[in-house]
Structure 1
Amino acid sequence: MRAEFLTTTDGVTFRDLNHNGRLDPFEDPRLSVAERVDDLLPRLSVEELVGLMFHTVIEAGDDGQLLDGPGRIAKSGSRDVVVGKRMNHFNVHALTSARQAASWANRLQELACETPHSIPVTISTDPRHAAAENAGTSWASNFFSQWPDPMGLAALDDVGLVWEFADIVRREYVAVGIRAALHPTADLATEPRWARQRETFGADHRLVARLTEAAIHGLQGDELGPQSVSATTKHFPGAGPQADGEDAHFPYGRDQVYPGGRFDEHLLPFKTAIAAGTAAMMPYYGRPVGLDLGMGHIEEVGFGYNKQLLTGLLRRRLGYQGVILSDWELVNDNLVGDQVLPARAWGVEHLSPAERMLKLLDAGIDQFGGEECTHLLLELVADGYVSRDRLEESARRLLRVKFQLGLFDNPYVDEEAAPALVGTPRATELGLRTQARSVVVLVDSPTRSLRSDEHATPRSLRSDEVASRRAGTAALPLAPGTRVWLDEVLPEAVSGGLVVVDRPEDADVGLVRLNAPFEPRDDLFLESWFHQGSLDFPPGLKHRLARIPCPLIIDVKADRPAVLTPLLEVADVLTVTFGVSDTAWIQAITGQVPPEGRLPVAFPGSMDAVRASMPDVAGDIDPLFPAGYSAAVPADPLPTR
């Protein structure tokens, strides 16, 4: 049953959220947000206050229906969590179409009306406007406009473009009922092995701060309102400097280190996000090791548990007053099928789930991410460990955002209009063009524009036999009529007058796309999605490529840097892309959309250099290609030889 829309005798239309047939102050759209929150808070039961403080995964049925029981990852059915546990913040996973997403969102809001005060649901999402999918970090949703990864946006260093991208994201999210973004990611990609770099805006703290600010304003506007999407900036105070590049989702990656003393650089984008008015902030899983901020010894526990950093630094020193949402599953282990992922309780593994919850609350957490164990918090309240005042402190922040977003006044979307509002021709074309523009050209045969002659690629590096079979060379842009052989490139993506041939022997040039290297792992839940470990390509790759009897244009699809040194021996043209489709890459190398990207991170020349580097220092890897490099768009005039 929906909360009915009623009209008073003096013409005020409102939703009768508590079904009592009269206009109460918290239902009155004429009052300020503060007044409405003040009226609602004392009306709420402890169960309702507790429900507000949990934010977990939810899944939608293929036809937009609510799930009656657990999903692939969600542990409970929709009714169990919304009505039974009084929860109303959910991170939605896979969606199949705009109509399905909008229909499901409306049904979820209708279900929320069965609770005592019809507190509307805030539907959140991880990023879903790029092609990559990782059940722990992002979703591919091809009915939305498709853009490069944030690293690709960073390659263009265009604040206005990032604002426009985020504004389109906002419009598309709002059309299907998504009102909270679990992004932008403001981390610095200073450790080349770290698995989550593609979500970032690169390694330069000043650039990341500028683009983070633009993303927040694009999502939220100048202030939160009924057409806004609330931004959750993550992962405070910067998740990039992971020891050995391992990710803190996993026990072996729990440590963050600052041997170069660059904590303040990692913090800068979060200061900027606070000034931009980000609605929420998410600390990361990692625990700081050996960190000294002049605050006494910083406890070596996960950032979500760290009172010195959340209350002392974030709240008091930086003055942040918004929501602090923990990252997922800090309290309980996550069991999915026959796989387990231990609770990311780094430094407090010895504590019980209830003790972990108390430490999180004491640190300053407002909301428990990825958890639905409301019974634990209810027991802590009943036993006197947590006061109602502490619940109201967090509930006030959470309710304020819901009121600002206009969800109490009307949380529903137009299911019929939704398909036409997402993936519009203009947004789709701009996303594709941006992908093509973001391509980074590292080597172009006529110029061989590298740091020095030692990195040039003479033909003598190839075997005499193969070199003699290569006719001509390759250079950008490819002209119409060029015969191309494809390796890991979709034939239907080819455009610009190129002619596809079946054999490399018949080609003027071979087009090769390679995934950046990583070490496959699959012992823990989610682990297979995270590309970690060595940045070296398999040793046989360059020998296989060297035997292809035509000049090669090679692209590396980089979700993180790679050691490209071996490819210099076999590539006539070498490009790097960050979330770029085959179609967009072809447009770039044919000059239909000239490639303008510059590297947002440095690319190392060897793994030895990476292992010797300091994880918190950008570019500390004796780079083969430094950040900012492009052979097509040089940052500075090339020296005269």
Structure 2
Amino acid sequence: MASALWRREDGVTYRDLNKNGKLDPYEDPRLPVEARIEDLLGRMTLEEKAGMLFHTGLGMNPDGTLQEGDGTFGRASTTELVTRKLLNHFNVWAVADPRPMAEWYNRLQALAEGTRLGIPITISSDPRHSYSNNPAASLFAGRFSKWPEPIGLAAIGDEELVRAFGDIARQEYLAVGIRVALHPMADLATEPRWARIAGTFGEDAHLAAHLVAAYIKGFQGENLGPHSVACMTKHFPGGGPQKDGEDPHFPYGREQVYPGNNFEYHLIPFEAAFEAGTAQIMPYYGMPVGLPFEEVGFGFNRDVIAGLLRQRYGFQGVVCTDWGLLTDHRMGDRVLSARAWGVEHLSLEDRVLKALDAGVDQFGGESCPEVVVQLVRSGRLPEERLDVSVRRLLRDKFRLGLFDNPFVDPEEAERVVGQEAFVRAGEAAQRRSIVLLVNGETSSGRTLPMREGIRLYVEGVDPQVASRYAQVVDTPEGADAAFIRLQAPYEHRDNLPLEAFFHAGNLSFPEPEQRRILDLLRRVPTVVQIYLDRPAVIPEIARESAALLADFGASDEAVLDVAFGRHKPGGRLPFEMPSSMDAVRKQLPDVPCDSEDPLFPIGHGLTL
């Protein structure tokens, strides 16, 4: 889509963003970025500056038209947000196919061109490339190439592969207009009950540091530029050591604890992210307990943002809060409370002031710029404080080339997203990430690889896929062997919005499910494949399995290829597998690899 604002003057082609018929400094691609920022900042009204400070969600229609909703959660009015509230940072959830998504993005940029200064839109996204069976992930999948979860990339442990993944994901994002990755997660999986382990690179801080750096380089390149996707590394200063493993999306999980005095260990991957040049940082929801910091959520925490992040590490990029710190959000007939941990008693205005005083530049998942405007007009907030953050936000827009040409080619989007080479690379990574935990003895040798053409009973596997490897039978009694896929156990919760998507709580299979699984394992030699979005306590299953494999996001074809010897397993566990829930409860949530007598140690993995 061509811009309606292209002009040519003094031998330079530019977009006349303020529609005044002349080349102004902020429109001039020849000038240094800092000069363009200062010119534009001097032209901005208070309302335009305030709009920059909010980064909320935005939907799209399947045909690529703009979504003009009724204002409820996930159904905001695009025109109102862009032209009245003057927001120009949005994250996308459910997406259309590549061509209509690219067309939607171009329509959105055309809408932004119509605003007074024509400031372009920045689109962000959570991860979209993981092969996952979590229903929440289906919102993000689309037609992008499918890879193992980041924890699966850690099981491979190959920096070059992670950088190659980042480069492929960058190309697919870029094709449809996504310019900020709300990832990677530099958190550490030191608390095995935590629900977000799948998004981490495991519990070894040094391995995670190498992979986080490679990931950022893949998305951003050596320097942020027009062909980059900026990374918003999260969740500073590390969201892993949760009390009882609960997540601070919810009130009962708001506390982060460090009984092992191991706070510094969790900073190691973030130090690698700074060295790699991460453009942006997201603090987590949690509030630190037992540290020399104020006991308020990290997004409100001056000790952490202004002190640790800005002063100690000298980070001068954008700091954006995690989503929903300021206001409650309605989801259908239910309300998701603001995650204002430690400052629940503060008014909306005072929460905004406290976060800005802490050093935050932008509020994720919020769209109330009128509050900022009122704070400035009342004299409670200096406009100069807004200028500090707006400069940072504009700097990334300029460095990403959005002011010069934000539009994408829908035909290129159709060609790039999910192209065959990218799909093959993701599928190969799925296979490489699979870990062989147990390979039992049989009368003729080891259980794996299985012999093709045998009579096979399957559960959790598409029988049509399995039939390419074996003769699928309906009952265990008629089988030579069985192959079953399991999901790591978790407690089913859905009392609060989003809660069902967080696999938390007990790591053991409950009865009667465990009894049912063990009964099958004792009736027929069974290969068990378990999806580990976090560790599992499965000593009985490991003992009774003919063979035990772990995956971190892989298709049926990928796991059966490994089971039948078409691909050799090579992954290594990126975390410990505890031997009991008593051992889990005795662990220190901030300390890695401290499980008593683990079932499988970190790094375990057999070969064929």
Same fold (TM over 0.5): yes
Q: Is 1:315 matched with 2:310?
A: yes
Deviation per CA, 1:88-133: give whole Å up to 9, x if none: 0001010131112111111111111121111110000000101337
Q: Any idea what SS the aligned residue of 1:624 has?
A: coil
Contact kept? 1:474, 1:552, Cα under 8 Å? no
Q: Any idea what SS the aligned residue of 2:441 has?
A: coil
Deviation per CA, 1:560-603: give whole Å up to 9, x if none: 11101120243110111111121111111122221111100111
Moved more, 133-142 or 59-68: 133-142
Mapped to 1, the partners of 2:191 and 2:124 lie a distance apart of: 29
Partner residue of 2:479?
507
Q: Any idea what SS the aligned residue of 2:173 has?
A: helix
Contact kept? 1:440, 1:598, Cα under 8 Å? yes
Moved more, 538-547 or 165-174: 538-547
Contact kept? 2:191, 2:589, Cα under 8 Å? yes
Mapped to 1, the partners of 2:512 and 2:136 lie a distance apart of: 32
Mapped to 2, the partners of 1:129 and 1:312 lie a distance apart of: 35
Contact kept? 1:126, 1:139, Cα under 8 Å? no
Q: Any idea what SS the aligned residue of 1:285 has?
A: coil
1:411 to 406, 412, 421: 406
Q: How does 1:308-457 map to 2 (within 5 A)?
A: 308-446=303-441
Unaligned runs of 5+ in 1: 292-296, 448-470, 634-641
Shift of 1:420: 1.1
Partner residue of 2:493?
521
Contact kept? 2:287, 2:298, Cα under 8 Å? yes
Contact kept? 2:132, 2:554, Cα under 8 Å? no
The residue type equivalent to 1:234 in the other structure is K
Identity over the aligned pairs, expressed in percent?
51
Shift of 1:505: 2.0
Partner residue of 1:288?
288
Partner residue of 1:568?
542
Mapped to 2, the partners of 1:251 and 1:138 lie a distance apart of: 26
Shift of 1:541: 3.1
Q: 1:415 to 1:586 in 2, by over 3 A?
A: same
Q: How does 1:125-164 map to 2 (within 5 A)?
A: 125-132=125-132, 139-164=139-164
Mapped to 2, the partners of 1:167 and 1:556 lie a distance apart of: 29
Unaligned runs of 5+ in 2: none
Q: Is 1:617 matched with 2:596?
A: no
Contact kept? 1:131, 1:140, Cα under 8 Å? no
Q: 1:133 to 1:504 in 2, by over 3 A?
A: closer
Partner residue of 2:116?
116
Contact kept? 1:133, 1:140, Cα under 8 Å? no
Shift of 1:547: 3.4
Contact kept? 1:5, 1:15, Cα under 8 Å? yes
Q: 1:546 to 1:345 in 2, by over 3 A?
A: closer
Contact kept? 1:237, 1:270, Cα under 8 Å? yes
Contact kept? 2:64, 2:96, Cα under 8 Å? no
Deviation per CA, 1:240-271: give whole Å up to 9, x if none: 00000000000000000011111111011111
Q: Is 1:193 matched with 2:193?
A: yes
2:603 to 597, 614, 628: 628
Deviation per CA, 1:134-157: give whole Å up to 9, x if none: 787884424110000000000011
Q: 1:132 to 1:73 in 2, by over 3 A?
A: farther
Partner residue of 2:579?
605
Q: 1:370 to 1:413 in 2, by over 3 A?
A: same
Q: Any idea what SS the aligned residue of 1:536 has?
A: coil
Q: Any idea what SS the aligned residue of 2:157 has?
A: coil
Partner residue of 2:456?
484
Partner residue of 2:529?
555
The residue type equivalent to 2:566 in the other structure is Q
Q: 1:215 to 1:514 in 2, by over 3 A?
A: same
The residue type equivalent to 1:577 in the other structure is D
Deviation per CA, 1:34-90: give whole Å up to 9, x if none: 111111111011111111110011101111111112477325200010111000000
Q: 1:123 to 1:238 in 2, by over 3 A?
A: same
Q: 1:487 to 1:474 in 2, by over 3 A?
A: farther
Shift of 1:345: 0.7
Mapped to 2, the partners of 1:28 and 1:57 lie a distance apart of: 31
Partner residue of 1:4?
5
Contact kept? 1:127, 1:138, Cα under 8 Å? no
Q: 1:242 to 1:137 in 2, by over 3 A?
A: farther
Partner residue of 2:561?
587
Shift of 1:507: 1.8
Contact kept? 2:461, 2:484, Cα under 8 Å? yes
The residue type equivalent to 1:510 in the other structure is A
Q: Any idea what SS the aligned residue of 1:179 has?
A: strand
Shift of 1:543: 2.9
Contact kept? 1:553, 1:571, Cα under 8 Å? yes
The residue type equivalent to 2:320 in the other structure is L
The residue type equivalent to 2:447 in the other structure is A
Contact kept? 2:279, 2:318, Cα under 8 Å? yes
Mapped to 1, the partners of 2:75 and 2:416 lie a distance apart of: 32
Contact kept? 1:225, 1:405, Cα under 8 Å? yes
Q: Which runs of 4+ in 1 moved over 6 A?
A: 133-138, 471-474
Mapped to 2, the partners of 1:530 and 1:545 lie a distance apart of: 24
Indicate the RMSD between aligned Cα atoms, in angstroms: 1.7
Shift of 1:496: 6.2
Partner residue of 2:262?
262
Mapped to 2, the partners of 1:324 and 1:70 lie a distance apart of: 30
Partner residue of 1:475?
447
The residue type equivalent to 1:363 in the other structure is A
Count of residue pairs the alignment pairs up: 604
Q: Any idea what SS the aligned residue of 1:358 has?
A: helix
Contact kept? 2:518, 2:541, Cα under 8 Å? no
The residue type equivalent to 2:511 in the other structure is P
Q: Is 1:274 matched with 2:274?
A: yes
Partner residue of 1:218?
218
Partner residue of 1:639?
none
Contact kept? 1:130, 1:147, Cα under 8 Å? yes
Shift of 1:285: 0.2
Deviation per CA, 1:164-218: give whole Å up to 9, x if none: 0010000000001111100000000000000000000000000110000000000
Contact kept? 2:3, 2:15, Cα under 8 Å? no
2:301 to 300, 306, 328: 306
Q: 1:270 to 1:139 in 2, by over 3 A?
A: farther
Mapped to 2, the partners of 1:491 and 1:96 lie a distance apart of: 30
Shift of 1:495: 6.8
Q: How does 1:32-43 map to 2 (within 5 A)?
A: 32-43=32-43
Partner residue of 1:451?
none
Mapped to 1, the partners of 2:570 and 2:299 lie a distance apart of: 39
Deviation per CA, 1:270-327: give whole Å up to 9, x if none: 1111111101000000000001xxxxx3100000111011001100111101000000
Q: 1:542 to 1:498 in 2, by over 3 A?
A: same
What TM-score results when the alignment is normalised by the length of structure 1? 0.92
Q: 1:305 to 1:268 in 2, by over 3 A?
A: same
Q: 1:473 to 1:247 in 2, by over 3 A?
A: farther
Mapped to 1, the partners of 2:13 and 2:282 lie a distance apart of: 36
Q: Any idea what SS the aligned residue of 2:178 has?
A: coil
